[in-house]
């Protein structure tokens, strides 16, 4: 029964880390504006938006990887229980 607990704990950790990265990215993008600054008078705002965009760009690749890992872990859990059901019949 230890394997089942380890499997669920591993799945939960992966999903929680993925969720935390989603929340972090959501917090970053909430400060982002959907404007294009054409005038040099808005250089400060343009620089702030560039910093936010750079932070979001750093978070996206690990988040995409964690999405795939979470999906694979979910499929693993489902397949484990399907195999368990088939063994009991």
Which residue, 59, 87, 63, is CA-closest to 15?
63
Q: Residue 46: what pLDDT?
A: 78
Q: Residue 19: what pLDDT?
A: 96
Q: Convert the pLDDT of each residue in 5-50 to its tens digit.
A: 999 999 999 999 999 999 999 888 886 666 666 667 777 777 888 8
Q: What is the DSSP string of 15-79?
A: HHHHHHHHHHHHHHHHT-------SGGGHHHHHHHHHHHHHHHHHHHHHHHHHHHHHHHHHHHHH
How far is Cα 25 from Cα 57, in angstroms, rounded to an integer? 9
Q: Convert the pLDDT of each residue in 71-81 to its tens digit.
A: 999 999 999 99
Q: Which two tokens stand for residue 36?
A: 């294009």
Q: Which residue has the higher pLDDT, 13 or 54?
A: 13
In the chain, domain spans: 2-88
């Amino acid at each position: 029964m230890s394997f089942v607990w380890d499997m669920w704990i591993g799945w939960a950790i992966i999903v929680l880390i993925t969720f935390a990265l989603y929340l972090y990215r959501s917090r970053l993008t909430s400060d982002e504006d959907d404007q294009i600054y054409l005038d040099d008078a808005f250089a400060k705002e343009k620089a702030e938006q560039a910093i936010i965009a750079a932070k979001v760009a750093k978070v996206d690749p690990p988040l995409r990887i964690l999405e795939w890992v979470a999906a694979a872990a979910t499929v693993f859990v489902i397949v484990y229980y399907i195999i368990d059901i088939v063994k009991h019949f």
